Structure 1
């Protein structure tokens, strides 16, 4: 008999006792004799009996499961977030179901439906690039399931969230380039339907305006992937006046730009300094190493999960909470001549 087929009724039949006796014996109930408890537990161990998690969740109205929806697990930042989520969740006795939207709205909707059908106790969400309609996310709230956004949030939905100060981080990155003597700085921007894309662009613009540098719309290009960076960088290099600095919305975009610049004979950072965003593992293996903003993904995962567990374990009518984490610029060779 395989362990997946063993039930309390099977144990009861073999021992010649009732199913309720077996159930109470497994729970160490005082009304059950020590001899019966011993016999039940020994047989349960021999048969590799495991409690039915679905049945227990129906009985206790809690599945002890948290759902997570992320855009893509391949990014170092999101894998770091997941590590933080899992550490906090497992310490609290919860398991984690991870779903990827692959940056697709339809996939994100399907993820929500799947998690709700699995009766998860709460959901952590970072929205996809395509998400501009939110009915599926409102549906989570309508079901009474706690939800926390992280990194990519939606201002239209009032719920707990944890982010970094994207505007300040982008300002600091751009100001670093300015302080290094760069006068014509390009920005490879993220999708403007995402709040973080808008905030990082605003931080870039703020830094330029603060010191009186002109804002050239031709230097602001929506490019948030390695492939798009190649096209955008070639476009910059074909301009009559080539930029001497570049702030990219993420590290993969920055790396795509660096490789293209080097293929076309540009020296980094002598001819053009480059700054990325997220400080993933690749930032330390480029040549030169990439200056980047550390988003502290692991910390974001732990904080988001703690917020969700607080809602689960201590329900209240408190208004939505916002946690803003500090990000810091890690300066390396791609932007420093020293």
Structure 2
């Protein structure tokens, strides 16, 4: 199919090429000219050359969202929130999977090619090489995650320390006294902060026994394998705190395959409160880290940075909230509660006060 050119549109409309270009690009033109050109473009089936227009205007009207694992539901939730904000401002969102830390560096370096006007990056690992690439890029970047103090970039953070305190306090209140923490890779940013948060949380409960193990990844399969190692040991815990929901789901499956009942024999909790937590049975207790809110804030920060490149860097921390489901209740509470009942931390506190 032969592409219709702006020259043909101008000829059909009976105007100059310059007038046709102004009319099609929203620049100053008479109402009569705009009507003629739009009619000509529709009749001929003209489609604007996005590349040429981007070069002319100095904008691509595309933004990138780069994450380690595009299959992880928490990233999908953030992506949905980001797309909702940027599309309302006329931008198209481009998705990129980074995987390893070196891939994150490559993605940032590629920003110099000018294929997007800005990027929201959620790196799994923050290395010196990545920080150097971020410092050099001329393209606005907002980071979902934590960067070293003094880094002059817009960031949106989860509060893993408070998240771990919420879930550990909940398990102890439910009568659990031997808690295993199943983390993801400990050299990652989420792995580091969730491990530190767990270690801080358990110091408030000196009578509780704890142990930690790292899974090979933040996935169901890796969580299953790590949980099997914990549950097959000589001393079986009565609770597992998983570093994310996928690991938590893997832990529930591992417990079932070993003939254990959740939550009677072992309680399991996750982090992120993704949609999967309400699909499995029993429902998975999880800490909501505000994925939707983090995505929304990151998108707004990026648009603000594009509009005002010299503005001061902002760091926003989104507060977590515990969502209690059947996977972590004590035996007595699990038996007395309707199956799959879902509650949040506020309702749970009210129940305890009343009882």
Does TM, scored on the shorter chain, surpass 0.5? yes
SS at match of 1:231: helix
> d(CA) in 2 for partners of 1:265 and 1:258?
11
SS at match of 1:274: strand
Q: 1:250 aligns with which of 244, 250, 266?
A: 244
> d(CA) in 1 for partners of 2:221 and 2:23?
61
- For CA contacts below 8 A with separation 6 or more, give which structure has more relative contact order: 1
Identify the residue that residue 198 of structure 1 maps to in structure 2.
192
Q: 1:145 aligns with which of 126, 139, 149?
A: 139
Identify the residue that residue 347 of structure 2 maps to in structure 1.
none
* Deviation by residue 1:211-235 (Cα, 9 ceiling, x = unmatched): 213665xx21001332222222222
> d(CA) in 2 for partners of 1:265 and 1:118?
55
> Is this contact kept in 1: 2:105–2:133, CA < 8 A?
no
> d(CA) in 1 for partners of 2:40 and 2:271?
56
Q: Provide closer, same or farther for how the CA distance between residues 206 and 280 of structure 1 changes in structure 2, counting only shifts above 3 A.
A: same
> d(CA) in 2 for partners of 1:106 and 1:119?
20
- Return 5+ residue gaps in structure 1 as ranges: none
Q: CA RMSD in A?
A: 2.4
> Would you say how many aligned residue pairs link Structure 1 and Structure 2?
328
- What TM-score do the two structures reach when normalised by structure 1? 0.88
* Deviation by residue 1:31-78 (Cα, 9 ceiling, x = unmatched): 7683x5544322111122233222222222222221110112212111
> Is this contact kept in 1: 2:66–2:95, CA < 8 A?
yes
User: What does residue range 72-151 of structure 1 map to in structure 2 within 5 Å?
Assistant: 72-101=69-98, 103-128=99-124, 131-136=125-130, 138-150=132-144
Identify the residue that residue 55 of structure 2 maps to in structure 1.
58
Identify the residue that residue 6 of structure 1 maps to in structure 2.
4
- What TM-score do the two structures reach when normalised by structure 2? 0.84
Q: Provide closer, same or farther for how the CA distance between residues 17 and 310 of structure 1 changes in structure 2, counting only shifts above 3 A.
A: closer
Q: Provide closer, same or farther for how the CA distance between residues 137 and 53 of structure 1 changes in structure 2, counting only shifts above 3 A.
A: farther
Q: CA deviation at 1:87?
A: 0.7
1:183 aligns with 2:177: yes
Q: 2:148 aligns with which of 142, 147, 155?
A: 155
- Return 5+ residue gaps in structure 2 as ranges: 334-355
Q: CA deviation at 1:287?
A: 1.9
1:221 aligns with 2:217: no
Identify the residue that residue 332 of structure 1 maps to in structure 2.
325
Q: CA deviation at 1:136?
A: 4.9
Identify the residue that residue 275 of structure 2 maps to in structure 1.
281
Identify the residue that residue 170 of structure 1 maps to in structure 2.
164
